[in-house]
A and B are shown apart, each in its own frame.
Chain A
Amino acid sequence: MPLDPSYLEYPHRSYGMDHDRYDWSMLADRKPVAWPGGKRLALWVNVALQYFPLNQQGRPFPPVGGMTTTYPDLRHYTLREYGNRVGIYRFLEAFDTYQVKPTFAVSARLAERYPYLLKRLVERGDEIISHGWHMDAPHYGGVDRDEESELVARSLDTLRNATGQAVAGWLSPSKSQSMNTPDLLVENGVRYMCDWINDDMPYNFRTSAGDIVSMPLSTELEDRFIMQANLHSESEYADQVQDAFDYLYAEAVEQGGRMLALSIHPWMLGQPHRIGRLEQVLEYITDHDGVWSASAGEICAAWQAAQ
């Protein structure tokens, strides 16, 4: 039985992308971006504050970082809780020491469950973005549109009520989306999303409800990816972040402002034997004059202003 003849037909084989969400362009060809104050590199430190429910359903796939053993997986539940109880406070101290302005991506359920932590973040005045309902509530291809619409609205409403902030940014659990997710985000007042990791700079993304900015939050340079998925050492993590910084900082001289997106997790990098590596890389990066430490929303706005 040969394959169906349609397997050798290519309906989208034409100029540009095989979808209409964004225009095709190469980073090096784009108009250079000037950051505020003439800085070369925008530092976006994105802290994921995630809630992983113990009664994980894992449909249609388990969340990245979720439960793995038979119920009750106390081991992973509490390891993730560690980040929200202990690791995050080590992070806050490090940010203050090196005067880094973080952005917090928060599960709505976490905001409901831990008002002390939310109040602490709100009082700092840092930007809070939505990280969905919780880690086991994925947005995925095939989910009913109305069901997802309710999930997006509930996640945003809950976080907006808890923080008093507009909540203009979005990071999907496990960076997973359905075909409708970008449309629903714009319908619910989101200005930028962080799931599409196909660039090192923001770019414009079309939806049925108007444009949204795609702010790529690098996975390849993420603490969890390097140390948990790849099992690289703590010192290797620091080396890779510093190498990435050096590269982008140099590229910015020729091609205009660059963005370094550091995705970090207090349950990972907030452990006693790892926190020093966060401090090390923040010290290294902030020791350079051309660095602009800013929230994701500020970087997004500056990029839009430069277009």
Chain B
Amino acid sequence: MKEDPGLYDYWPYENRPKITWPDGARVAFWVAPNIEYYELDPAVNPHRAAWPRPVPDVNGYATRDYGNRVGHMRMMRVLDKYCVRGSISLSTALCDHHPEIIELCKERNWEFFSHGIYNTRYTYGMSEAQERAMIEDAVETIRKHTGQQCAGYLAPALTHSDITMDLFAEAGGIYTCDLFHDDQPTPVHVRSGKKFISVPYSLEMNDTIVYVVNKIEPRRYGEMIKANFDRLYAEGADNGVVMCIPLHGYQVSHPHRLKAFEEALEYITGHSDVWVTTGREIAEYYIENCYDDAVADIAAKGAA
């Protein structure tokens, strides 16, 4: 184990090279629906139990299944209404289990990126060859079912190894959602030297963290989203930033929660200088227009 993941260098938020998003937008705004499959009786990983109760953990399993049966289509209607294309963090086995959901996302030209095979299969304990095989399986599954080259990664159940980023970059990926150290994209070191970045994917705005970990009230979640946006929109006038709302159909789409989220989404998309986009588009734009300046500035600040 290492003291520091070694994935990025310290880089102060002040005095960075200016990012200007397309059409002069201040905030690159993206929404990342997690479309996940949890197994009822998954293979056992010695480093992490899949469920708190003995199998079948009806409570845990059914809670997640609600997202697929009920949640995604409700969320989709809200995103459609405000012209937001989702960037899907996908349990890629869902392509096999529930292709109807994949079709609805394809019709909307949503982005698909890898969230592993199942959210009950963890990276912990995998050899390099095993983790590479899992990543390549996910990338190939997305290609086969959607035609898309997978650009982004969010590790299954946020389980990582020391070489997760290296392996994903080698499989053709260009961005990760696994790092929460910044409000702008930042370069990420990978052993191949490829241009690979972090695109902010906020845990603070993540509905599961909000509802399950922090136990926030639905209407307060709506207020938190607006406050998060207001500050980023103000700061974005000086230097472009990223705002992400990660969602789960089994959390935000409950009948007592969706209205507060919709109001927040209406608020954000009602502002003029917002680039409503996807994770891939942010990553491609950044790598093309901002990456080299960032690397030079990080080197200069580190040297000073």
A residues touching B (Cβ–Cβ < 8 Å)? 1-4, 6-10, 12-19, 24-29, 60-61, 140-142, 174-179, 195-200, 216, 218-221, 229-233, 236, 239-241, 243-248, 251, 260
Residue pair A197, B45 in contact (C-beta under 8 Å): no
Closest chain B residue to A218, Cβ basis? B254
Residue pair A196, B53 in contact (C-beta under 8 Å): no
25 sampled A-B residue pairs with Cβ under 8 A: A2-B127, A2-B130, A3-B127, A7-B126, A8-B133, A13-B96, A18-B41, A24-B69, A61-B53, A140-B54, A175-B58, A175-B59, A197-B59, A198-B63, A198-B64, A198-B69, A220-B254, A221-B254, A221-B255, A229-B215, A230-B217, A244-B256, A247-B256, A251-B255, A260-B255
A33 to B61, CA, bound (A): 26
Residue pair A12, B39 in contact (C-beta under 8 Å): yes
Measured between beta carbons, the chain B residues less than 8 angstroms from A221 are 254-256
A18 to B50, CA, bound (A): 15
Residue pair A19, B40 in contact (C-beta under 8 Å): yes
Measured between beta carbons, the chain B residues less than 8 angstroms from A17 are 40, 97
Closest chain B residue to A138, Cβ basis? B53
Residue pair B56, A177 in contact (C-beta under 8 Å): yes
Measured between beta carbons, the chain B residues less than 8 angstroms from A243 are 218-219, 255-257, 259-260
Give the shortest distance, in Å, between A180 (CB) and chain B (any CB).
10
Measured between beta carbons, the chain B residues less than 8 angstroms from A26 are 68-70, 72-73, 100-101
B143 at the interface (CB under 8 A from A): no
Name B62's contact: one of A4, A178, A196, A245 (CB within 8 Å).
A196
Within 8 A of A (CB), among B7-64: 37, 39-41, 43, 45-46, 52-59, 61-64
A255 to B290, CA, bound (A): 47
Measured between beta carbons, the chain B residues less than 8 angstroms from A240 are 217-218, 256-257
Residue pair B256, A196 in contact (C-beta under 8 Å): no
A232 to B99, CA, bound (A): 38
Specify which of B57, B58, B101, B126 lies most central, judged by the most chain A CB atoms within 10 Å of its CB.
B58
B65 at the interface (CB under 8 A from A): yes
B125 at the interface (CB under 8 A from A): yes
Give the shortest distance, in Å, between B124 (CB) and chain A (any CB).
8
Name A199's contact: one of B52, B70, B100, B258 (CB within 8 Å).
B70
Residue pair A197, B130 in contact (C-beta under 8 Å): no
Q: 9 closest A-B pairs (Cβ-Cβ)?
A: A141-B54, A2-B127, A244-B256, A198-B65, A247-B255, A198-B62, A244-B255, A240-B256, A230-B215
Measured between beta carbons, the chain A residues less than 8 angstroms from B69 are 24-27, 198-199
A141 to B158, CA, bound (A): 27
Measured between beta carbons, the chain B residues less than 8 angstroms from A10 are 93, 117-118
Residue pair A18, B97 in contact (C-beta under 8 Å): yes
Measured between beta carbons, the chain A residues less than 8 angstroms from B189 are none
Residue pair B127, A232 in contact (C-beta under 8 Å): no
B134 at the interface (CB under 8 A from A): yes
A176 to B72, CA, bound (A): 26
Closest chain A residue to B215, Cβ basis? A230
With contacts A24-B69, A196-B58, A243-B256 known, what are 7 further pairs, Cβ within 8 A? A3-B46, A3-B125, A17-B97, A140-B53, A140-B54, A229-B215, A240-B217
B267 at the interface (CB under 8 A from A): no
Within 8 A of A (CB), among B99-153: 99-101, 117-118, 121, 125-127, 129-130, 133-134, 137
Name B40's contact: one of A7, A18, A233 (CB within 8 Å).
A18
Residue pair B39, A195 in contact (C-beta under 8 Å): no
Residue pair A232, B121 in contact (C-beta under 8 Å): no
Specify which of A220, A239, A245 lies most central, judged by the most chain B CB atoms within 10 Å of its CB.
A220
B66 at the interface (CB under 8 A from A): yes
Residue pair A9, B43 in contact (C-beta under 8 Å): yes
B98 at the interface (CB under 8 A from A): yes
A55 to B63, CA, bound (A): 31
Give the shortest distance, in Å, between B7 (CB) and chain A (any CB).
23
Measured between beta carbons, the chain B residues less than 8 angstroms from A28 are 73-74
Name B63's contact: one of A12, A219, A233, A247 (CB within 8 Å).
A219
Residue pair B256, A176 in contact (C-beta under 8 Å): no
A163 to B216, CA, bound (A): 41
Name B45's contact: one of A3, A27, A248 (CB within 8 Å).
A3
A61 to B126, CA, bound (A): 30
Measured between beta carbons, the chain B residues less than 8 angstroms from A178 are 56
A202 to B82, CA, bound (A): 31
A293 to B70, CA, bound (A): 23
Residue pair B66, A198 in contact (C-beta under 8 Å): yes
A233 to B219, CA, bound (A): 12
A219 to B255, CA, bound (A): 12
Measured between beta carbons, the chain B residues less than 8 angstroms from A246 are 259
Give the shortest distance, in Å, between A141 (CB) and chain B (any CB).
3
Known: A28-B73, A243-B255. A176 touches B58 (CB 8 A): yes
